[in-house]
Every structure is written in C-alpha cells, then in structure tokens.
C-alpha cells in the first residue's frame, strides 16, 4: 500500500485568515493529497447530555512521583498525524474529550476561512495554557494560568472534505490532572456511551504507524502492530520517528509548495520506504540530472538513519542534492521502488549513474534505467582497501601496487599487466575481494571508462574523493529527528554557496589571467568562476609539456605524442608519454587520458595539440553548456514553455512558474539596480494576477 503525499494538490487562492499565526502566511498553497488503500475506522462515543462518571472511576490513580494522573482506562487514543474526521466539529469534540481525559482544557488558537465562501478550511487547537498573558493584562487580578504550553494539533480540510490532523505536539510544560479536570467537567461532558442520543465521531485512522508502535499501548491498533518491530522489510525507526517524518514533510510543504514526497507503507500502515525532493532539488535535477551519484553508504555502513541520497554536479563543479530517500534495507525491491519514484518525479533517465558496489541496486538500475551507464564509485573502493586488505602482512606493498595499477595505467594492456604483477608477486591471487573487483573491473577502473561521461564525479586522479553530501552533518549515531533539522541546515548552506557563486560569476566578467594563451582568455568570458579555475590549471600545465610530436598520419587523422613531466614517487619528476588523436577535417581532438569525459573540459595534452596545429579557439563541441555562467537561462530557454500546457495539470503550471521566477531571482541578485527592477517586475506581475481574481468575482 502506498501512502502518497504530493505537493501538486493546491488549495484555492481565496483564503482568509481569522487570526495571526507565525506560519499563516505560508498556508495559502500546499495541501497534501493522501491516498490509502485501506482505512481503520474507530467509533468514539460523544454525548453532551449525560454526566461524567465520578473522578475515582474515570480518572484512575494519581502518580505522586510525577505529579500526573495515571489513566489506566482511557477511552480516547492520543492524537496522531494522519487522523481524519468527518467534520470540524467531530475533530474538535474528539480533541476536547481527549483533553478532558488527560487533564487539560482546549481553546481554538487559529482558524482559516476561504475568502468568498467563508468556509473554514484550517484550524489550530491548543492547550489553554498556550502562550502568555499580554502586557496590558499583567496587572489584572485574575490568576495567571498560561505557561507557554506547546501542546497542540493543527488540522486542515482535505480534498475528501474530511478534516485531517497534519501536526501534533503532545508534550505539556505544566501539571496535568485533577485540578484542571475539575475546572473542565462543567463544560463539555465526554463519555463512551451506547445511549441513543449519543453522537458518534467517526475517526479515520490513516496515520503512519511506527514499527515500534507509537500509539496507545492498550489500543486495538497497537495490539495489531506490536509484533512487527525488527521486520527486515520495514524501516528500522525509533518510537515517534514516523510521526516526525510526516510532520516534517507537512511543514516543508507549507514553506516549499513544490516539495514532493512519497511514503511506501504496508497494509498495516507501517513504513517501508520514503522518497522526497524539494523544489530546488527538482529544478537542479532538470539542469544537472544527466550524471548522478546514488550514495547508499549510510545503509551499508550501518548508520542510524537508512539514508540514500541522489546528487549531481552543478555548473560550478560542486555537489548539488537532487533527492533523498529512506529504505527498509538493501533489497532489490526497495531500490526498485525508489528509482521508479525518482523517474516518475524527475521525468528523465540519467546518462551515467555512479553507485557503490551493491548487487540489489545494480539489478534495480538495470530494470528502471536500462540505457544508463552504471559505474562504481572509485572513491568507495579505495576507502575499503584498509578494511579488506589491512590484515595482509605485506599490506603497504599491496596497497601501493593497487594504487599504481588504478591511477598510472593509460591502456588496458598496462592495467592487466600491473594487476597480474600485484596478485602474483604479493601472493593475493586468492583474495576474494580482489577477485571480485577484477571481475567487475570494467565498471570502476578508469582505464575502462574512457567512453563514459562523468562530469567530475569519477574522481579518476589520486587524492580525489567523492564526498557524501551530508558528510559534516551526519555521523553513524545521528538520530533521525536530528537529521531532519540538519537536512535543512545543509540545504540552506549549499543553496547560499551556489547563489553567491552565481553572483560572483556574473558580476566578474573576466577572471584573473595567468598566461597569454588564447584558450584561457576565451573561457574566462564563458565559464563560471569555479570551473574556469579548474580549466586554468590545465592551461598553466601546458608549459610542463615540453614536446609535441606527430607520430602517425592516416588521412585527416593524426596521432601526436605529447611528453609531460609529472610527479612520480617521492615527488620526483618523471617523463610520461600521452597519445592524442586529432582529426584535422572536423577539429576533433581526443587524449588517451580522457580528461574531457572524466571532468568535462580539455586536458593540457589536447590543448598542446590544438596549439601545435594553429587553432586559436577551443572548438564549441568542447565548451559544455553545463559549465557556462548563463547555463540556467539558456537551459530554460530551450526547455521552457515551448509546447502544450495541460489546462488541468497544476503540477506543470507550478513547475513552469517556479523556473521562470527563479530566473528573475537569480538575475535580480546581480546588483542593486538589478534587484530594484526585479522587485518592481514581481510586484507588477502579482498585481496583474490579483486583477484576474477580481474580474472573476
């Protein structure tokens, strides 16, 4: 069963708030749509005409140690995210009965109504001790009862016209029990009664249930779920984690209307897998989703959170987050579900997918993305050398030979010879890990990957690593609730860095030049600042290439041999030969080091050959649009509103509007003058949109 929540279901725009609320400004759009294949109905008796039983019978005992009432016979389960009611009155009456049973009073903190119909569509019910007395009321004789209590429920009307609980806080910061109950019992009377005049509240229990069971221990629901903890096909979550995930997603949709998430649950409502992507990540995927890295090391490394991340490389050559997921385990079924969701949301198949060595993930990719090139992360393989080979008596020698075979071979025959020397000379031919690596060498060894485009994800040079997106934010013991907070911090930091890099690249028309080479001058005007600095290193290193010689000619095809002084062992300079194929008729150049496919720009050896042949500008085919300063603008012009727009698909409307507005934001941040113009245009656009609504009225 899928528990699906998608940010594509929007509320009408004719909404009015009754009272102020810190989040009310963000409640104008972003209602979630919940789809469940089965519902658990609970009938809760409610009667306003019948007296409550005596305190001794109803309230149970009093815990002297905690100062709280202990209710051993509760009629009402605690509120939980996902509960649904037929009407607002039913929801209010339920929470009021629950409050009376626990020992506190309820008041309405906020209500929201639609502008034209005046129909209520949202409300916050809170403990009567919520907030603090106003300054003007401080001198009143009446005793202060408010303590800033956080207990509350937030609920909204959904498409089914039912009322759904979307946020819950159960904790109080004050005493609960007899004294409060006595002041409540003269108000509404709540009992479970079979009498004919009793009104029945029908509660649709559609909430996600923790594997550890986050419901009342004595409830029927809990008895049904309590034996499921530790099941291999369920998320290994702690008590309250499922509700924390759902609460977080609901909150994200309020501030990020294009936020998307999907929750995979079983028939009992227990969480198996989760996928989510915010609006920025979805837009980033449309730009940079051609090469992605699926990092499952949090699961294979036995981290507290079963996290899987999808990342790409932006136009500054930096890692950007494309989406995330939580998985029950490393099974083909879980990965297949995750990849299918990714494909349906992002609507594109990556050209290259880099992963850790994981058989279930490999099988899922072959099914969902059969045309994509799947390759293994060399970074992950190199990190496992101490773990897999550390027990060898000649470990240092084996590690050195392994590194040399991987990074210093340019041809397949060289790699095969270096590998054979390592396994035979050091007696590790029977090592199972090395044997499995050799069998799959075509998916990770750089010498076999020269025809695969990586956009910098390959980390094909010594010392380069592919770092996890949340490297500084998540450790093995990071609990899920803490991760959700750190997730926002990490995204804010990355978004700020990308925005500042955009501004820096656009405001500085030319970077500092270090040579008189025409190639450097050419790309300083085109590439983003960070990518130009990477290319600039190749231009500078042209001077370490001291010889360019023509060694073979076959019609328009010419093979050149470029000699370069490179750092060898003990930082000594060694001379290495690099073959470069050049096609004079079409200006095509290809070096044996394959820097262009690995990193997306030409290497020093190819530049030497172009310079040798009198070429003063790099051919356009080797200036990738993804590294340009204006890439986002050009990409949107090519992929924007150029075709049919579905008159009923609000997701498509939102995506197009979001991308358009994002262009205005990025261009408007270049300077103060740009900012003023952008603000004026945005305000004029908003006024025109409002005028459409007024005409309809």
pLDDT digits (tens, 9 = 90+) for 480-507: 989 988 898 888 888 888 888 888 887 7
CA distance readout (Å), 541 to 390, 511, 611: 36, 18, 14
Same domain, 193 and 258: no
Same domain, 186 and 267: no
- Residue-level pLDDT at 192: 37
Same domain, 414 and 439: yes
For residue 132, is it within any domain?
A: yes
- Residue-level pLDDT at 6: 36
| Domain end position, chosen among 196, 229, 262 | 229
- Residue-level pLDDT at 553: 94
Domain total for the chain? 4
Task: Give pTM, 2 decimals.
Answer: 0.67
More confident residue, 266 or 446: 446
Q: Is the pLDDT at 25 greater than 90, yes or no?
A: no
For residue 184, is it within any domain?
A: yes
- Residue-level pLDDT at 581: 96
> Looking at 211-220, 577-586, 688-697, which range is the least confident one?
211-220
- Residue-level pLDDT at 181: 39
Same domain, 189 and 271: no
- Residue-level pLDDT at 21: 37
For residue 356, is it within any domain?
A: yes
| Domain end position, chosen among 396, 425, 448 | 448
- Residue-level pLDDT at 139: 54
Same domain, 313 and 399: yes
392 by DSSP, 3-state: which?
A: coil
Same domain, 258 and 224: no
Question: Per this entry, what is the length of the chain?
Answer: 697
> Looking at 41-55, 197-211, 671-685, which range is the least confident one?
41-55
More confident residue, 437 or 120: 437
Whole-number Å distance between alpha carbons of 392 and 101: 66
- Residue-level pLDDT at 11: 28
Same domain, 430 and 326: yes
For residue 456, is it within any domain?
A: no
> What's the start-to-end Cα distance of the chain, in Å?
42
pLDDT digits (tens, 9 = 90+) for 221-244: 333 333 334 566 788 888 888 888
For residue 351, is it within any domain?
A: yes
pLDDT digits (tens, 9 = 90+) for 359-415: 999 999 999 999 999 999 999 999 999 999 999 999 999 999 999 999 999 999 999
Same domain, 177 and 287: no
Whether the Cβ atoms of residue 615 and residue 522 lie closer than 8 Å to each other? no
Q: Is the pLDDT at 425 greater than 90, yes or no?
A: yes
The two tokens of residue 270 are 């227990």
Same domain, 253 and 221: no
Where in 234-331 does DSSP place strands (E)? 260-265, 271-277, 291-295, 307-313, 319-326
Q: DSSP label at 26?
A: G
- Residue-level pLDDT at 188: 39
Whole-number Å distance between alpha carbons of 327 and 281: 19
pLDDT digits (tens, 9 = 90+) for 81-107: 878 888 898 889 889 888 888 888 998
Same domain, 287 and 434: yes
- Grade residue 179 by pLDDT with cuts at 50, 70 and 90: very low
For residue 457, is it within any domain?
A: no
Question: Do the strands 152-157 and 61-63 form a parallel or antiparallel pair, or are they unpaired?
Answer: unpaired
Same domain, 32 and 147: yes
- Residue-level pLDDT at 17: 38
Pick from 360, 284, 350, 351: nearest CA to 323: 284
For residue 75, is it within any domain?
A: yes
Same domain, 300 and 216: no
For residue 490, is it within any domain?
A: no
Q: Is the pLDDT at 26 greater than 90, yes or no?
A: no
Whole-number Å distance between alpha carbons of 186 and 100: 11
Domain hosting 209: range is: 11-229
| Domain end position, chosen among 579, 601, 627 | 627
């Amino acid at each position: 069963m899928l528990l699906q929540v998608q940010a594509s279901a929007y509320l009408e725009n004719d909404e009015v708030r009754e009272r102020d609320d810190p989040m009310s400004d963000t409640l104008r759009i972003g209602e979630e749509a919940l789809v469940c294949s089965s519902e658990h109905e609970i009938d809760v008796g409610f009667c306003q005409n019948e007296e409550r039983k005596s305190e001794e019978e109803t309230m149970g005992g009093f815990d002297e140690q905690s100062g709280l009432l202990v209710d051993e016979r509760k009629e009402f389960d605690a509120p939980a995210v996902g509960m649904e009611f037929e009407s607002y009155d039913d929801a209010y009456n339920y929470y009021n009965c629950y409050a009376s049973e626990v020992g506190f009073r309820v008041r309405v903190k906020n209500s929201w109504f639609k502008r034209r119909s005046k129909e209520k569509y949202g409300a916050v019910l809170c403990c009567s001790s919520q907030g603090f007395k106003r300054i003007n009321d401080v001198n009143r004789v009446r005793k202060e009862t408010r303590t800033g209590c956080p207990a509350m429920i937030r609920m909204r009307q959904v498409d089914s016209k039912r009322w759904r609980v979307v946020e819950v806080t159960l904790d109080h910061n004050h005493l609960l029990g007899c004294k409060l109950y006595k002041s409540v019992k003269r108000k509404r009377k709540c009992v479970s009664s079979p009498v004919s005049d009793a009104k029945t509240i029908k509660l649709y229990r559609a909430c996600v249930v923790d594997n550890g069971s986050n419901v009342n221990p004595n409830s029927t629901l809990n008895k049904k779920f309590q034996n499921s903890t530790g099941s291999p096909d369920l998320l290994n979550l702690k008590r309250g984690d499922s509700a924390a995930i759902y609460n977080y997603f609901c909150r994200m949709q309020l501030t990020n209307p294009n936020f998307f998430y999907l929750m995979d649950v079983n028939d009992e409502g227990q969480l198996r897998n989760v996928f989510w992507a915010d609006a920025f990540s979805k837009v980033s995927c449309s730009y940079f989703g051609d090469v992605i890295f699926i990092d499952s090391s949090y699961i294979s490394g036995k981290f507290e959170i079963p996290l899987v991340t999808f990342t790409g490389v932006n136009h500054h050559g930096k890692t950007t987050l494309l989406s995330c997921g939580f998985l029950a385990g490393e099974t083909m079924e879980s990965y297949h579900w995750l990849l299918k969701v990714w494909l349906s949301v992002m609507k594109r198949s990556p050209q290259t997918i880099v992963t850790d060595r994981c058989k279930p993930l490999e099988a899922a990719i072959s099914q969902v993305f059969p045309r994509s090139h799947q390759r293994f992360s060399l970074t992950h393989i190199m990190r496992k050398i101490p773990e897999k080979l550390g027990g060898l008596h000649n470990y240092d020698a084996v590690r050195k030979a392994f590194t040399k075979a991987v990074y210093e071979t340019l041809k397949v025959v060289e790699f095969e010879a270096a590998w054979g020397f390592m396994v035979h000379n050091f007696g590790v031919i029977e090592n199972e890990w090395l044997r499995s690596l050799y069998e799959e060498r075509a998916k990770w060894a750089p010498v076999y990957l020269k025809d695969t485009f990586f956009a910098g994800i390959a980390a094909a040079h010594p010392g380069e690593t592919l770092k996890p997106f949340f490297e500084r934010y998540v450790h093995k013991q990071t609990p899920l609730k803490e991760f959700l907070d750190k997730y926002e911090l990490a995204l804010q930091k990355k978004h700020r860095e990308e925005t500042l890099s955009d501004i820096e690249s656009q405001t500085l028309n030319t970077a500092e030049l270090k040579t008189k080479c025409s190639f450097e001058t050419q790309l300083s005007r085109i590439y983003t600042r960070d990518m130009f600095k990477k290319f600039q290193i190749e231009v500078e290193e042209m001077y370490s290439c001291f010889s360019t010689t023509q060694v073979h000619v076959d019609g328009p095809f010419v093979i050149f041999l470029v000699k370069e002084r490179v750092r060898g062992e003990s930082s000594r300079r060694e001379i290495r030969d690099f073959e470069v194929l050049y096609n004079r008729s079409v200006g095509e150049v290809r070096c044996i080091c394959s820097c262009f496919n690995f990193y997306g720009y030409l290497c020093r050896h190819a530049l030497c050959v172009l310079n040798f042949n009198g070429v003063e500008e790099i051919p356009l085919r080797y200036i990738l649009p993804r590294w340009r300063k204006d890439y986002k603008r050009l990409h949107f012009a090519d992929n924007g509103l150029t075709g049919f727009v579905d008159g009923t698909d609000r997701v498509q409307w939102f995506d197009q509007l979001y991308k358009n507005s994002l262009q205005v934001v990025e261009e408007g941040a270049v300077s103060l003058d740009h900012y003023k113009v952008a603000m004026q245009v945005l305000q004029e656009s908003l006024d025109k949109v409002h005028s459409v609504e007024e005409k309809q009225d």
